[in-house]
A = this chain, B = another copy of it.
């Protein structure tokens, strides 16, 4: 039996600023029918920024969780940008630095069960001072020494998905001597 679902109809529910919602009628592999609630999203990037053996984080109020979370710098890809350009812009806006070198850690699908969002994860380790204020954002930056970050990470204290995923790649790669 082929793992595939054929879309036979779509109902648009909502077109918003950061996401759209639709409900698709699908035909399942056994020929029966079901509905799929699907959030479409324009995509984002996140950057693990390590400067002088310290990781740069941003604290931000997340109304969906009703609390302030500690996250790596991140943001939505604007029209016409590629992920690298978004990563550089978000670092300038959120932590005040322009990455001078940057490599890709991986691609992260937060919730592929119902959402098309793709977050490209980068790591940057060299920077120039080059802040660019975004008046629409309210956040506070925080620097934490890398070894403290590792202890916090291993204890599960970075609950934000993209942050935990980026740190997981980084610590797994460094422990293998691959970074």
Residues of A within 8 A of B (CB): 1, 3-5, 7, 13-14, 16-19, 21, 23-24, 26, 28-30, 34-40, 59-65, 68-69, 71, 104-117, 136, 138-140, 150, 153-154, 156, 159-161, 164-165, 167-169, 171-173, 175-176, 178
Contact = CB atoms under 8 A, between A and B. Distances in A.
Contacts of A165: 161, 164-165, 168
B106 A117 contact: no
Contacts of A110: 110-111, 161
Task: Give the copy number.
Answer: 2
Given A153-B172, A171-B172, 11 more contacts: A3-B60, A14-B21, A18-B37, A29-B138, A34-B136, A39-B39, A106-B159, A107-B159, A154-B172, A168-B168, A168-B172
Given A168-B164, A171-B168, A175-B175, A16 B37 contact: yes
B111 A65 contact: no
A7 B66 CA distance: 10
Given A106-B164, A111-B110, A160-B109, A40 B64 contact: yes
Contacts of A105: 156
Contact of A156 (B38, B62, B63, B169): B169
A178 B154 CA distance: 9
Given A111-B161, A159-B106, A3 B64 contact: no
